[in-house]
Each structure stands twice: as structure tokens, then as C-alpha cells.
Amino acid sequence: MTTAFFAHPDCLRHVTPPGHPERAERLDAIAAALSGPAFTPLDRREAPLAAASDILRCHPRDYLDRVQDAVPADGWVSLDADTHLSPGSLDAAMRAAGGNVAAVDAVLSGQVANAFVGCRPPGHHAERETAMGFCIFGNVSIAAKHALDAHGLSRVAVVDFDVHHGNGTQDLLWGEARTLFASSHQMPLYPGTGHPHERGAHDNVLNVPLAPMTGGAEMRHAYENEILPALDDFAPQLVLISAGFDAHAADPLANLNWIEEDFAWLTHAICDVADAHAGGRVVSTLEGGYDLTALGASVAAHVQVLMERGG
């Protein structure tokens, strides 16, 4: 069994305005980091375009139409203060969602042990009818709904370790009793949600804020004491990861002090949960991470662990 890596050149065609941190060069950094001989065993696959029906599991038709109609012939159109569409953005967003759906299919069919989806734009801030925070479609939520509705699973966990709270995932899965959404994130920080009292309609949301300037020790404590026990209690049949790497000490958008070894430790810990309950089945998808050097090194550490655990 191997680890699949889903990507597509179309994801470079989502072009953001000059100076925007969520830029195509992020994927170049990841490609370079995963190019060494250690990553030769990766099962490299093209992320397919999502079907409209995949998007519609999480977003209403009006929203999909609005995004499609807004794509400009040139230049940019802004969906919110920091979320922009360029001519290639719709294809990129459909690859990001479609890569997640295909990764779930590959893992649940037993073709691969686990998967990492290295696409952009990210997804965890996109709410039901609202693009925000660099995100257009709720990629990880779309993957969760696909696993539930197309594959018939009854318990899917989403672990979000991006430094920002996944308000979009929380919004999309709030009423979905077949999911557990567990998030660690810096607080205070954009987008301002993610308080512990936000618990979901079925007690299916777990928010664990981390204080600014804290590092790997505090992260490990939070996971060992709160998030990992909750995941064990939930006993997921599939574990999805919203893998943002912006909690890294070098990241310019936040103030946590994780290092590559912390991402490796956390990946192992999540894989332990998947091994105990889900036959090891993990699908991880790229969210944030804006220092290119730290992003490449952290993704490499994360994927290396997925390969070790899937091998």
C-alpha cells in the first residue's frame, strides 16, 4: 500500500494579486520539497475536476452559479477583501474539490493507504454561501459528505490543524451528526470564530484554541488531552485532515511556534487514531502555510509520515 499525492497544473492558474500570501508559488515549493528520492514511492495522480454534484453537497446551486458567473476574462474579481477570482480560478477550485473527492475514492477503495491533496485554493474558510479567507469551496467538507453519502460511511472525522479556525468547515458540518470536526487554532486570530462553546448541533464540533506565541509543547498537550481522546470516542471510519502549515514559527500570518517535528508528531498521532478505528484510512488536504521554505519542509515532514504509516 502506498500514499497518493493528488495535484494538477490547473491549481497554478488561480492567480492572486501581487503581494497576496496565498500564491501559486506555494505549490512550486511543495513540488520541490516532494521531488527527492525519499518521495519516489508516492503514487502521483492528477486531481480531477469536481462534478457540480460534489460541490452541491455543501453549497447551494445559487452560490456555485454566482462563482461561475463571476470568473473574469482577465484581471481579478474580488469575492471578499482577500478572496479573488482570476480567469483560471474556477478550474483550480474545481480541481481542489475534485482532488479531495478522488482521494476519498482511492483510499476507501483500497487502492492506496492514505493520500495528500496538494491543490489550491484552500477551503476551510468557505461557508455555505460565502467565499472568504482565500477559500472558494469547502474542499474537506465536500470530501466528508462524499464519504458519507456516496460511500455510505456513518462516521467521518475532520481534524483541522491550520493556525486559523476552519469556520467554513464548522458551518458546513455544524448539523451533520455523522461527522466530528476537531480544530486547533490560534486565538485571537482571523476569522474570530472557534470558541470552545461552539459545539455543533449534535455536539459534533470541538474547538481547542491555542494562545499566541505558544509552541509544540502546548499543541501536544492540547491534542493529548482533548482532541485525540475525542477522536477515539468518536471512532471514525475515515479521518480527513485540513492540513494548514501556518502554525509554523516562520509563518508571516500568525504567531504560533510549531516546527517541522511538531507536524510530524501530529501526523503520527492522527494516524494512530486512524489505525485504531479506520483501518489507517487518512485523506489530508492542503490549507494554509505562507512561508515558502517552512511550507515545503513541513509538507515534506507530513507526507513522509503518511508514507511511513501507509507503507
Stretch that binds Zn ion, among 78-86, 205-213, 223-231, 284-292 (CB under 5 A): 284-292
Instruction: Choose which of 22, 54, 176, 246 interacts with Zn ion (CB under 5 A).
Output: 246
Instruction: Return the residue matching grid coordinates 455523522.
Output: 178
Residue count at the site for Zn ion (CB under 5 A)? 5
Residues 174-233 that bind Zn ion (CB under 5 A): none
Binding of residue 288 to Zn ion (CB under 5 A): yes
Indicate the residue among 4 and 227 with the shorter CB distance to Zn ion: 227
Indicate which residue of 8, 125, 165, 185 is catalytic. Answer: 125
Task: Assess 164 for contact with Zn ion (CB under 5 A).
Answer: yes
Closest to Zn ion by CB, 127 vs 162, is: 162
Nearer to Zn ion, 105 or 160 (CB): 160
244 binds Zn ion (CB under 5 A): yes
Asked if 291 is part of the footprint of Zn ion (rule: CB under 5 A), the reply reads no
Q: Compute the least distance from the CB of residue 233 to Zn ion, in Å.
A: 27
162 binds Zn ion (CB under 5 A): yes
Residue nearest to Zn ion (CB): 288
Q: Annotated catalytic, 125?
A: yes
Q: Between residues 45 and 185, which has the closer beta carbon with respect to Zn ion?
A: 185
* Minimum CB distance to Zn ion, residue 220 (Å): 20
Q: Which is nearer to Zn ion, 22 or 54 (CB)?
A: 22
Stretch that binds Zn ion, among 42-50, 54-62, 217-225, 236-244 (CB under 5 A): 236-244
Spatial contact of 182 and 222, defined as CB atoms under 8 Å apart: no
- Which residues make Cβ contacts (< 8 Å) with residue 223, sequence separation at least 6? 184, 266, 269
- Half-sphere exposure (Cβ direction) of 75: Cα atoms closer than 13 Å: 3
Please state, in angstroms and rounded to a whole number, the distance separating the CA atoms of residues 236 and 220: 21
Q: By the criterion CB under 5 A, which residues form the site for Zn ion?
A: 162, 164, 244, 246, 288
Which residues are tagged catalytic?
Answer: 125
